[in-house]
Structure 1
Amino acid sequence: MARKKTITRDQILKAAYEVVATEGFTRFTARNIAAKMKCSTQPIYLEFKNMDDLKSALISQIYDYLATEVFPIERRGDIIVDLTLNYIGFANKEKRLYRALYLEEYGGGDSMQQFSFDLFVKSVKKEPKYSELSTDELQSLHTGVWIVATGLAALMSSGIIHPTEDQIAKLMTETVDNILSRDTPIDITYK
């Protein structure tokens, strides 16, 4: 008779999340996840083909969390300012997870960049004042906003700067206005 599974897929994903949220993707190993669950690595490999499969499932779960719980919170009534404030809030509240996803070499990488761009475009296009922007203008707007927001998030989560929400909102509004008034789009190639 086959043994009954005692460790579920959800439990493995929860333990994987805890490892990444506290230690980053550099510690994302079967042994570290199993240690978090106080078991062997066998249940992990019974549920997932390999660690890449587990990482993919975890990243998907994190994307869902960010898209439904973090980024859509309305704060100021301007979607770009709100996205930025929520992004910075996430960086300050969940410092290690933020760094793991957005700053570490083995984090979300290209898929994190694509997720962020797609979410940005989907959100921004709902706003009448941005709905007519071309693909190039949206790309340029995302790139400029992304650079400023990531700089603020990294500096704030490290405790180096402490701007108020009003100061951040003003900076982001000025950034958006400056980007949209440019004759040529910002063209920075991602990896």
Structure 2
Amino acid sequence: MARRKTITREQILNAAFQVVATEGFAHFTARNIASKMNCSTQPIYLEFKNMEDLKLALFKKIGDYLENEVFSIPQIGDPLIDMALNYIELAQNQKVLYRAIYMENHNEKDYLNKFSYELFEKNLEASGRFNQLTNQKKHELFTGIWIVATGLASLMSGGILTPERKEIVLLIEKAIDNILKDNNEMLETLLFEKEE
């Protein structure tokens, strides 16, 4: 008679999530994950082909967590700015998880970029403000917001900067405005400033 499985795929993913959220990907090993579940490593390899297979499944779980528990929290009512504010709060409130996902070296950068851009497009559509943007402008807007939010997230999580929320919102809004300005208008602004 075959032994009944006592450790499920979901339990393994939850334990892997806990390891990464509290210790980072440097500690993402079968032994550490098994230790969280008080079992041997055997159930991990019964459910997953290898650790890379587990990591890919974990990133899907992390993506679901980010989309449903982190980036979906209403802040000021503008989906794009809310997304940036939630990203910054993740860096402050869940430092190890933030660093593991966005700063540590792992093989899931392509998945993370695709996930982030798709979430950005969803929020862009929900905002309703930028329906006429070209794909190039959307990409520029994504990159610009990402850079500003990451700079703020890093500086704030390290305690180097402590801006108030309204200052953060203003910085993000200014970044959006500058990115969306017509190139000719930006050139005129630069020339005008030089003449003064």
Q: Same fold (TM over 0.5)?
A: yes
Number of the residue aligned with 1:46: 46
The alignment-based identity, stated in percent, is 54
Report the Cα offset of residue 182 of structure 1. 4.5
Question: For 2:165 and 2:108, how far apart are their aligned partners in 1?
Answer: 27
Question: For 2:79 and 2:158, how far apart are their aligned partners in 1?
Answer: 25
Question: For 1:140 and 1:80, how far apart are their aligned partners in 2?
Answer: 14
Number of the residue aligned with 1:170: 170
**TM-score normalised by length of structure 2:** 0.89
Report the Cα offset of residue 128 of structure 1. 2.4
Residues 104, 182 of structure 1: alpha-carbon distance in 2 compared, 3 angstrom cutoff: farther
Match of 2:167, as an amino acid? Q
- Aligned pair count reads 184
Question: For 2:182 and 2:105, how far apart are their aligned partners in 1?
Answer: 32
The reply on whether 1:79 has 2:79 as its aligned counterpart is yes
Number of the residue aligned with 2:188: none
**TM-score normalised by length of structure 1:** 0.92
Match of 2:128, as an amino acid? P
Match of 2:42, as an amino acid? Q
Deviates more, 1:111-120 or 1:136-145: 111-120
Question: For 1:39 and 1:153, how far apart are their aligned partners in 2?
Answer: 37
Number of the residue aligned with 1:121: 121
**Structure 1 vs Structure 2 CA RMSD:** 1.4
The reply on whether 1:67 has 2:74 as its aligned counterpart is no
1:87-139 deviation per Cα after TM superposition (whole angstroms, max 9, x unaligned): 11111111111111111111641211111111101210232221111100000
Contact 1:91 1:98 (C-alpha < 8 Å) held by counterparts: yes
Report the Cα offset of residue 154 of structure 1. 1.1
Residues 40, 139 of structure 1: alpha-carbon distance in 2 compared, 3 angstrom cutoff: same
Q: Secondary structure at the match of 1:63?
A: helix
Number of the residue aligned with 1:137: 137
Match of 2:18, as an amino acid? E
Contact 1:79 1:127 (C-alpha < 8 Å) held by counterparts: yes
Report the Cα offset of residue 24 of structure 1. 0.8
Report the Cα offset of residue 7 of structure 1. 1.1
Contact 2:80 2:127 (C-alpha < 8 Å) held by counterparts: no
Match of 2:122, as an amino acid? K
Contact 1:17 1:58 (C-alpha < 8 Å) held by counterparts: yes
Question: For 2:127 and 2:33, how far apart are their aligned partners in 1?
Answer: 42
Question: For 1:108 and 1:98, how far apart are their aligned partners in 2?
Answer: 14
More helix by share: 2
Q: Which has the larger radius of gyration?
A: 2
Contact 1:101 1:107 (C-alpha < 8 Å) held by counterparts: no
Number of the residue aligned with 1:152: 152
Number of the residue aligned with 2:10: 10
Match of 2:94, as an amino acid? E
Question: For 1:34 and 1:159, how far apart are their aligned partners in 2?
Answer: 35
Report the Cα offset of residue 75 of structure 1. 1.4
Question: For 1:21 and 1:63, how far apart are their aligned partners in 2?
Answer: 13
- What are the equivalent positions in structure 2 for 1:24-43 lying under 5 Å apart? 24-43=24-43
Contact 2:56 2:108 (C-alpha < 8 Å) held by counterparts: no
1:124-177 deviation per Cα after TM superposition (whole angstroms, max 9, x unaligned): 023222111110000000001101101111111122211111110010001100
